[in-house]
Amino acid sequence: MLFAYVSYITSELMGFSGVITLFCCGVVMGHYSFKNLSAKSKIGSVLAIETLGHAAEAFVFTYLGLSVYGIEKDKFSAVFTVVLLFSCIVARAAGVFIPAFFLGLCSWFNLGISLK
């Protein structure tokens, strides 16, 4: 964790993107560092990271849910909300069915994916 923080601080001091630095640091550390851990450390680190991920996801959804009540009535748009929900559903369907279609074109993949 300290190595990732040092890379983030270094990139920010040099004027580079800290997010990209953290992404690259995570890829490199995941490739090299995870293999050097003991079996118990691997299990513990995976559980800790999953717990932090679920906690961050819960925080984001809680914050978004509570921020709806902070929106002023003149700035809220029901049409925008419906269009946003519809576009999310369409994007999700496109992200699932289009790659599945292209994988289904390959004869060596035996996909039994139904529309349900």
- The string of pLDDT tens digits covering residues 17-62 is 888 888 888 888 887 887 888 889 889 988 998 999 999 999 988 8
Chain mean pLDDT for the chain: 83
Q: Are residues 3 and 28 in the same domain?
A: yes
Number of domains in the chain: 3
CA distances (Å), 109 to each of 29, 39, 69, 102, 106, in order?
32, 34, 48, 10, 6
Pair 98, 110 in one domain: yes
Whether 69 and 81 share a structural domain: no
Render pLDDT for 60-77 as a digit per residue (tens, 0 to 9): 888 888 877 776 666 777
Where b means 16+ CB within 10 Å and e means fewer, 10-47 reads ebeeeeeeeeebeeebeeeeeeeeeeeeeeeeeeeeee
Query: So what's the pLDDT on residue 4?
Result: 83
Same structural domain for residues 44 and 29? no
Angle of the 18-32 helix axis to the 2-14 helix axis, nearest 10: 150
Write the pLDDT tens digit of every residue in 69-116. 776 666 777 788 888 889 989 999 999 888 888 877 776 666 666 656
Domain with 30, as residue range(s), is 1-36
Q: Are residues 98 and 86 in the same domain?
A: yes
